[in-house]
Amino acid sequence: MPMHHFVLRRNNLIFVSLIELKQMKQLLHIFIGVILFGLSACQRETTYPLAMQQAESLMNTRPDSALHLLQGMADSVSTLPEEAQMYYHLLTIQAKDKQYITHTSDSLINRIVSFYEEYNDNDRLIMAYFYQGSTYRDMNDAPRALKAFHQAIDAGKETENLTLLGQTYGQMGTLFTYQKLYDEALEAKRNALQLYTQQKDSTRFPYLNRDIARIYSAKYINDSALYYYQKANNLASQLRLRKHEILILSELGCFLYEINQPQKAKEYLLGIKTHSSQTSNALLYLGHIYKDEEKLDSARIYWLEVLKYGNIQKQGSAYLYLSQIENIQNNKKQSEIYKRCYQQIMDSIHNITQTDTIVKHHLTYKYEKAEKKSQQLQEEKKFYKNGLYFLLFTLLISLFCYGFIMFSKMRTHKTPEILESNFLQSSIYHHFRAISRKEKRANEDDWILLQKELDKTYNEFTQRINHLYPSISQQELKICCLIKLKMSNREIANTLYATDSAISMARKRLYKKMVGAEGSGEQLNSFIIDF
């Protein structure tokens, strides 16, 4: 499933007054007596048609058969009780999801969620939240997907369905990974692993360990990444999950090549006998290995295989490498043919990327607009509920608080020079200097405090970076912060527990990402210092 970077945090500064009002209203609710009477809904039992019961029993082992049974009774669903109708639709969504059929609309799942929020069946509500999140995941709406997954977890605190909770944490971890929120992703994946362990569901262990390996690789913690890749491969082998083993072997081999272990990588990659779309990356890397060994004919064979099985990105890379081989062997005509094919694919990828960017921004706009409208409706409800006197009192308090805040800001206003001087004398600045000398270690609280102080000193430094360059990862943001402290490459490497070469490469990639052109680490330093 393709995922893109989404803006998960919104600027709430314009809502300061509303937030203050809300807090004041919460205090005032202590003095306002609101008595709500209701009747508890009795547990309703519904007998489902035989086809639905059969579909439910086949869901985990044969989802294709389950979907076939459900589709066969589609014409009669409208005659069923409302609860049976909702559960039928929920089962249908589940069956499609298990077959990797992309969800394209949220209207039906939102109806199901609304129903089970009122209906006395918590397990079904958890299930509804999960597939609501899966729907938004497929629609590339990461904020609402994460919100739904969080609701599933909150609703599942007392549930015995640990497998579904494990799936929820797993999906959250994947979303966090695509958003480059690697610490959050690790936590989610480990929670999933713990739940599957409680359920003794070992079949999911290989992929979860593979996912954890990917996260460590993205964080440049190669020893941990290698450990989890090997663990995932061993588990797949022990459990005789051949399909899992092939995919993990492919990924492990590629990773070994990236960390300069080509012979080990070759050993693993040659162990994959099946060529498919899922192993096309292995074919690509085998081509690189043979090219490095100056065995150009072998490299050509594997890159031609990529043209058969790889996706558009992999095919583009294969055409480029084939062009290079033909050029080395003085086959200029064939080299030009491959080069033109490469350019055509790059143009196609560019067009796709532009479209995805437009879709991403549109979805983000729609989400923020919907959230704003929802907030407005809630505020209006409270306004009419509490009455005129309540509103007047709140407004008076709000005006007083606003005046106090403005007065405090005027008193505490400082020039940039003073702010910087204060920062250079601060404990957090000296703390990170000590960390760069390997005298101390940094935790996440340290990073949060450093970013807060940098924002206060240098005109919302990290917030401006996140706004202007939303694709920047947390690791890359940390590099920017350390450059702002005027640390050397070695000091940055010490602070992030990375090698000098890894940081040097990361700085060059970061410069290209921010400026849009090739550049050196020193150029990045100048850019960040002046930013």
pLDDT digits (tens, 9 = 90+) for 437-487: 988 888 999 999 999 999 999 989 999 999 888 888 999 999 999 999 999
Domain contains 345: no
Instruction: State the virtual CA torsion across 132, 133, 137, 140 in degrees, nearest 10.
Output: 80
Please report the pLDDT score of residue 156 as a whole number. 84
- Please state, rounded to an integer, the average pLDDT across all residues of the chain: 83
Residue with the bigger pLDDT between 364 and 330: it is: 330
pLDDT at 41 over 60: no
Alpha carbons within 13 angstroms on the beta-carbon side of residue 323 total 14
Domain contains 187: no
Domain contains 420: yes
Please report the pLDDT score of residue 2 as a whole number. 38
Mean pLDDT, residues 334-355: 80
- Digit-coded pLDDT (tens) for 85-133: 999 999 999 999 999 899 999 999 999 999 999 988 888 999 999 999 9
Domain contains 525: yes
Domain count, the chain: 2
Q: Name residue, tokens 């990170």.
A: 432
Please report the pLDDT score of residue 381 as a whole number. 61
Domain contains 410: no
Determine if the pTM surpasses 0.85. no
What is the band of 408 on the pLDDT scale with cuts at 50, 70, 90?
A: low
Q: From 157, 178, 199, give the residue that closes a domain.
A: 178
Please report the pLDDT score of residue 5 as a whole number. 34
Q: From 178, 198, 217, give the residue that closes a domain.
A: 178
What's the burial of 488, exposed, middle or buried (CB within 10 Å: 0-12/13-18/19+)? middle
Q: From 137, 158, 178, give the residue that closes a domain.
A: 178
Q: Nearest 5°: CA angle at 247, between 241 and 248?
A: 85
What is the band of 20 on the pLDDT scale with cuts at 50, 70, 90?
A: very low
Domain contains 202: no
Domain interval for residue 89: 44-119+121-178
Please report the pLDDT score of residue 37 as a whole number. 35
Mean pLDDT, residues 306-317: 87
Please report the pLDDT score of residue 367 as a whole number. 56
Of 69-73, 414-418, 437-441, minimum mean pLDDT range: 414-418
Mean pLDDT, residues 325-348: 90
Alpha carbons within 13 angstroms on the beta-carbon side of residue 296 total 11
Do 315 and 285 form a contact (C-beta atoms < 8 A)?
Answer: no
pLDDT at 336 over 80: yes
We report the CATH number of the domain holding residue 174 as 1.25.40.10
What is the distance between the alpha carbons of residues 483 and 295, in angstroms, rounded to a whole number?
Answer: 43
- Digit-coded pLDDT (tens) for 208-233: 999 999 999 999 999 999 999 999 99
CA-nearest of 354, 351, 331, 333 to 343 is: 351
Domain contains 371: no
Mean pLDDT, residues 12-33: 42
Please report the pLDDT score of residue 12 as a whole number. 34
Domain contains 160: yes
Of 270-279, 387-396, 488-497, minimum mean pLDDT range: 387-396
Phi, psi of 321 (to 5 degrees): -70, -35
Of 115-129, 341-355, 367-381, 459-473, minimum mean pLDDT range: 367-381
Do 478 and 492 form a contact (C-beta atoms < 8 A)?
Answer: no
Do 335 and 327 form a contact (C-beta atoms < 8 A)?
Answer: yes
Mean pLDDT, residues 183-210: 91
